[in-house]
Amino acid sequence: MGTSGLKRTAIAAGLSLAAMGLGAGAIAAPTPTPQQAAAPAGVSNTAPTTAAATPPAAPSSPMLAVDGAPGAVAQPGIGQPSNGVFGLQPQVTRNGEFAHWMHNAILFPVITIISLFVLGLLIWVVIRYRAQANPIPSKTSHNTTIEVIWTLLPVAILVLIALPSIGLLQAQFKPAPAGAVTLKAIGNQWYWSYQYPDHGGIEITANMLKEKNQAGAGERARTDRDGPRLLATDNRVVLPVGVPIRLITTANDVIHSWAVPAFWIKLDAVPGRLNETSFTIEKPGLYFGQCSELCGARHAYMPIAVEAVTPAQFAAWIRAKGGTMPTPGAASDKVIPQPGADGSAAKAEEGSAMANAAGPVENAATAAPATTQGASGNPSAAGNAGQ
């Protein structure tokens, strides 16, 4: 058989197989495993706002909400503001639950009673002591009993309110125990960057997602799965449920504030300073917040999105990002420098740039420390921040 005959035979066989597949149902391609769908470990965490963005992962992927793959779906009324709802958001931390109870059981009733009492006094004074009812005004200037009451009663009310308030304030700044997950939130104009010092130093950058009519070519627009308008981010913070969280905040430029109402957390991020608090998330879900400190023209476009998952999912996400899990129960031993201080990412980058410009140095005592992606090195941060 000649060469042309072999080609015709191969083509005929291919057409026969195709016909059989169409008739009996084509064979489906194997479904990629979550790890296959996720981005490879060690890749850069650049926010997916360009044409080279990482493809979305499967819903069950350990990559969860990072790199453009929405994991948990935003639930109305949970972790976000709701239209027509009166009251605080449902709380998912112990401090938040106690503060919610204190507001509903102590503060609101006391405020209501005092307001009604003062309103009643004003009405009574207007009616009882009007000019028509009192043509000759009384000249009474003191009443010992009334003065004692209006002095001691407010003091007693303030003391009763202060007792639970001091306990709540103390609990909000209680140091995190050993084995807590350290999250460093860094405020920038106008986006957030996050570091996990105890998990291999991985870093993510979170920018607000644009609406469909605002997104440009290659940029991922917000969907209902991502969250509400002005609150959805391209990369979500991932934290475990039931594990203490050690939150450290700072800023690279001006004062910001990391606030998530459902966690009862609002911690200022001050340049050159490290502020710290701790909390424990009790329920899995998706929770939103915003910068709560006036920080410039695009202050309203610094959303916070936190996805709370099980510890197993959190460990899978850490591994997918190229990080490592610390020894269970071990205290954090990582040095967390302030922005601009020796050992910070900015100083390390500056040292590397100077070393590259000067050339190799013989007998150098130490090499410039390697750094993960920094907020200043995020090429898409400026393009997607504050849209």
Per-residue 3-state assignment (H helix, E strand, C coil) for 281-305: CCCCEEEEEEECCCCCCCHHHCEEE
For residue 97, what pLDDT is reported? 92
3-state secondary structure at position 23: helix
For residue 132, what pLDDT is reported? 85
CA–CA distance, 214 with 210 (Å, rounded to integer): 6
CA–CA distance, 277 with 175 (Å, rounded to integer): 7
CA–CA distance, 20 with 374 (Å, rounded to integer): 55
The answer to whether 65 and 236 have CB atoms below 8 angstroms apart is: yes
- Start-to-end CA distance of the chain, whole Å, equals 67
CA–CA distance, 28 with 32 (Å, rounded to integer): 12
Phi, psi of 186 (to 5 degrees): -115, 120
Residues in CB range of 156: below 8 A, 6 or more apart: none
For tokens 């941060």, name the residue.
Answer: 381
For residue 378, what pLDDT is reported? 41
CA–CA distance, 238 with 304 (Å, rounded to integer): 11
How many other CB atoms are found less than 10 A from the CB of residue 287?
A: 29
Per-residue 3-state assignment (H helix, E strand, C coil) for 189-240: CCEEEEEEHHHCCEEEEECECECCCCCCCCCCECCCCCCCCCCCECCCEEEE
CA–CA distance, 332 with 309 (Å, rounded to integer): 21
3-state secondary structure at position 341: coil
For residue 46, what pLDDT is reported? 32
Our measurement of the distance from residue 47's CA atom to the centroid of its chain's CA atoms, rounded to an integer in Å, reads 15
Strand partners for 192: 187, 206
Beta sheet of 191-196, edge-to-edge order: 202-206, 191-196, 181-188, 244-251, 275-280
For residue 210, what pLDDT is reported? 87
- pLDDT beneath 50: ranges in the chain: 1-4, 6-7, 9-60, 62-70, 360-387
Task: Enumerate the H helices of the chain as residue ranges.
Answer: 3-24, 34-37, 94-102, 108-128, 144-172, 311-320, 345-358, 381-384
Residues in CB range of 113: below 8 A, 6 or more apart: none
Q: Which tokens go with 217? A: 């070519």
